[in-house]
Structure 1
Amino acid sequence: MTATFNHTIIAAVDRDESARFFRDLLELPEAPSWGVFTNVRLADGVLLQFAEPPVEIQMQHYAFLVDDDLFDRAYRRLRDRGVEHWADPQMRRPGETNTEHGGRGVYFKDPAGHAIELITRPYL
């Protein structure tokens, strides 16, 4: 069997709020949750498991490859909700998207302060 990515635990201030944010943004159904985790399942079966650690949360970066239609809908939701966003990871181009790597991209922060990126084309 080849190696595939199965799950990751994402630190959250409020695990339910963070899971809801990703479900709404990426149009994902609710997934079964257990124990200290509120889960979100991506289309390829990968689980995002949100948990509330008893330590200070350190910012992480998570990038999601989406199709053009979902990008348009997600970007519209970000704007409608007043989520601050940038065209670049250095946050020098506020309120914009980029057209890097033959597609489009946008950067923003989730409710826990993680840096999130949506892209429509893979970098490689």
Structure 2
Amino acid sequence: MSVELNHTIVHARNNRESAEFLARILGLEVGAEWGPFVPVATANGVTLDFATVAAESITMQHYAFLISEEEFDAAFERIRKAGITYYADPRMKQPGEINRNDGGRGLYFLDPVGHGMEIITRPYGGFPE
């Protein structure tokens, strides 16, 4: 399995307006609002979750990558060798741990500018790869 983007959060001034705009342009459906997000799923399984933020704020973005168990092992080793702090949870309350959600493995870490990165070996909900 090659590395795939699973989902990302897209900041907007108005999450519903932006989600509807993109869905309309691309011929996609707007999903049901979930908390602060209005999702738009692409045909290849990537979901763009639109969130409203102040236009002038610089906000951390989140990128999730669905990878194989072997790719996880290699990435995890590189993260550890580089001394990068990693977490089992997105709120970064469990440093130095990985999670085993849905029968897979996952972790979160920050890139050099503070974007939240995530690697997972199983999609959320335990659905088949």
Scaled by the length of structure 1, the TM-score of the pair is 0.54
Which residue identity lines up with residue 121 of structure 1 in the other structure?
R
Q: How far apart, in 1, do the equivalents of 2:59 and 2:66 lie?
A: 23
Mapping 1:1-124, distance limit 5 Å: 57-124=58-125
Q: How far apart, in 1, do the equivalents of 2:108 and 2:76 lie?
A: 10
Shift of 1:58: 2.1
Structure 2: segments with no counterpart, 5+ residues: 9-43, 47-55
Q: How far apart, in 1, do the equivalents of 2:82 and 2:94 lie?
A: 19
Q: How far apart, in 1, do the equivalents of 2:66 and 2:88 lie?
A: 15
Greater CA radius of gyration, 1 or 2? 2
Structure 1: segments with no counterpart, 5+ residues: 9-43, 47-54
Q: How far apart, in 2, do the equivalents of 1:57 and 1:113 lie?
A: 11
Aligned residues: 75
Pairwise CA RMSD:
2.5
